[in-house]
Amino acid sequence: MEQDKTFLGTEPIGKLLMKLAVPTVIAQLVNMLYNIIDRVYIGHIPGEGSMALTGVGVCMPLILIIAAFAALVGSGGSPRASIYMGKGEHDTAEKILTGCLSLQIIVSIILTVILLIWNENLLLMFGASENTISYATAYMNIYAIGTIFVQITLGMNTFITAQGKAITGMMTVLIGAVANIILDPIFIFGMHMGVQGAALATVISQALSCIWVLSFLSGKKTLLRIKKENIMPGLQLVPPCVALGASMFVMQASESVISVCFNSSLLKYGGDIAVGAMTILTSVMQFAMLPLQGIAQGAQPITSYNYGAKKLSRVKQSYKILLCVCVIYSIVLWAIIMAFPQVFAKLFTTDAALIDFTAKALRIYCRVLFVFGIQIACQMTFVSIGNAPCSIIVAILRKFILLIPLIYILPHVMENKTNAVYMAEPVADIIAVSCTLILFMVQFRKSLRRLTE
C-alpha cells in the first residue's frame, strides 16, 4: 500500500505519463462519444436529420455549462488532493474529496431546477430558430434530469485519476459509452423517439457511470475514500479548490457564451447552414482536442504530487515532457484536418451542401491549431501547481478578451462576413498562445523558487 501512495514521486516521469495519459486519453475520447454518437445518429434521421442536428447543436451551450460546473469543483479539488498526498497529508486529501462531492450534489440540484424551468428561453437566447427550437427543447428536457449524474461522474472521476488510478477512471466512461452506443439506435430508431431517445440514452448511460464512480470511491481499492464524517470539514476546504478550478470553469463555461456569439453571428450572416456547420466544427474540435486534454490530465497528478513533495527536478521534467507531447500532437492533428476536412464533415451529415460548406469553414477555423499544444501544457501546469490566478488569467484572455470581441469585429473588416466569424478563432489563438507562453516562463520560475524556499 505504501508503494501505491508514493509511486507518483518515484517512478520515471516518462513511464508515469504513458501509464496515466493513455487511459485518460481513451477516457476523454470515449466521454465525448456521448455527444458525438447522439449527433451522428440524429444527423441521419430520415427527412429531418439536418435540422434535428442543428437543434441539438444549440443545446451544447447548456451541456457545456453543466460540464463546466463539474470542472469547477473536480478539476480544482483533485490537484489540491494530489498536492496534499505529496505532502503526506492523506486525511486532508480525503476531506477535500468528500467536500467536493457534497458541493457537486448541491450544484446539481440547483442546475436541474433552472434547466427544467427556463431551458426554452435559454435555448432561444443561445441561437435556436423557429425551425430548430422544437428539437432543442425535446432533447434538453430529458437531458436536464440527468444533470446530477453528469456532475458526479465528471467531477469525481478526476479524483480517481488524481490517485494515479487512470485505468479505473477510463472504466468510468467506458461503461457509460458502451451503454450509450447500445441504447442510442434502440431509442432513436427502434422506438422512434428521435432526439428524445438520444437524450434518454445519454441520461441512462451517465447514471451507470455515476454508480461506478461512487462505488469505487467508497470501496476498499481507492486511496482516497468518501467518508460521511468529512462532509462539514471537507466543505470548509472547498473554497481554495473552487478558486483553482475557476480557470477550467471559465474555459468550459465560456464555450457556451462563445457558442451564443458564434451562432447568433453566423445566423445573421450565413443562415441555418452556417450554424449547422458550426455545430459540426464544434463536434470535430471537441473530439480531436480530447486526446490533448487527456494527456494534460494524465500529467496533472504527476506534477501536483511532486510539487507537494517539493521534488523540483521532477516538476520541471513533467512539464517538459508534457509540452513536447502536446506540441507534437497538435501539429499532427492540424495537418490531418487541413488535408482531409471533408472526411470529418461526412461523419455528421449526408447533406452535400453542408459537407462542402463545413469543409471550407473547418480549414479557416483550425488555421493555427498547430500552436495550441503550448496553451494546453502551460495552462494545465498552472493548475497542477495550484497557481489559480495565472490559470484564470490565461483562460479569460483567450476567451473573453480576444475571441468574443473578434467574432463581432472581424465581419466589419473582411469582405466575406461569414468567413470572418470563423476567422476569429485562429486570430485569437495565435495572440493568446504568445501571451500565455510569456506569462508561463516568468511565473513558473517564481513558483519553483518558492518551492525551494
Residue by residue, DSSP assigns 327-385 as HHHHHHHHHHHHH-HHHHHHTT---HHHHHHHHHHHHHHTTTGGGHHHHHHHHHHHHHT
pLDDT at 147 over 70: yes
Number of domains into which the chain is organized: 1
**Distance of alpha carbon 277 from the chain centroid:** 21
**Distance of alpha carbon 214 from the chain centroid:** 21
pLDDT confidence bin for 135, thresholds 50/70/90: confident
Contact 51, 131 (CB under 8 A): yes
| Mean pLDDT of the region 166-177 | 88
pLDDT confidence bin for 2, thresholds 50/70/90: very low
The answer to whether residue 165 sits within a structural domain is yes
What pLDDT does 60 receive? 78
What pLDDT does 374 receive? 93
The answer to whether residue 3 sits within a structural domain is no
The answer to whether residue 57 sits within a structural domain is yes
The answer to whether residue 1 sits within a structural domain is no
| Mean pLDDT of the region 279-299 | 82
In whole angstroms, give the CA distance from residue 94 to residue 262: 41
What pLDDT does 121 receive? 85
pLDDT at 67 over 90: no
pLDDT at 111 over 80: yes
pLDDT confidence bin for 303, thresholds 50/70/90: very high
For the stretch 313-348, pLDDT in tens is 999 999 999 999 999 999 999 999 999 988 888 877
The answer to whether residue 197 sits within a structural domain is yes
pLDDT at 197 over 80: yes
CA geometry: angle 319, 325, 327, nearest 5 deg: 100
pLDDT at 34 over 70: no
pLDDT at 4 over 70: no
For the stretch 393-435, pLDDT in tens is 988 898 889 999 999 999 999 989 999 999 999 999 999 999 9
Higher per-residue confidence, 285 vs 363: 363
| Mean pLDDT of the region 29-47 | 71
The answer to whether residue 4 sits within a structural domain is no
| Mean pLDDT of the region 129-151 | 88
Helices 90-125 and 60-87 cross at an angle (nearest 10°) of 170
pLDDT confidence bin for 32, thresholds 50/70/90: low
What pLDDT does 3 receive? 41
Mean pLDDT of the chain: 87
| Mean pLDDT of the region 295-310 | 89
What pLDDT does 377 receive? 92
- For residue 89, is it left (φ>0), alpha (ψ between -120 and 50) or beta? beta
Cβ count within 10 A of residue 413: 9
The answer to whether residue 2 sits within a structural domain is no
pLDDT at 40 over 80: no
pLDDT at 35 over 70: no
The answer to whether residue 271 sits within a structural domain is yes
In whole angstroms, give the CA distance from residue 417 to residue 95: 52
| 133: containing domain | 9-452
What pLDDT does 149 receive? 94
Contact 184, 41 (CB under 8 A): yes
Q: Given 3-state DSSP classes, what are the helix, strand and coil percentages for the chain, each rounded to the nearest 5?
A: 85, 0, 15
pLDDT confidence bin for 1, thresholds 50/70/90: very low
pLDDT confidence bin for 152, thresholds 50/70/90: very high
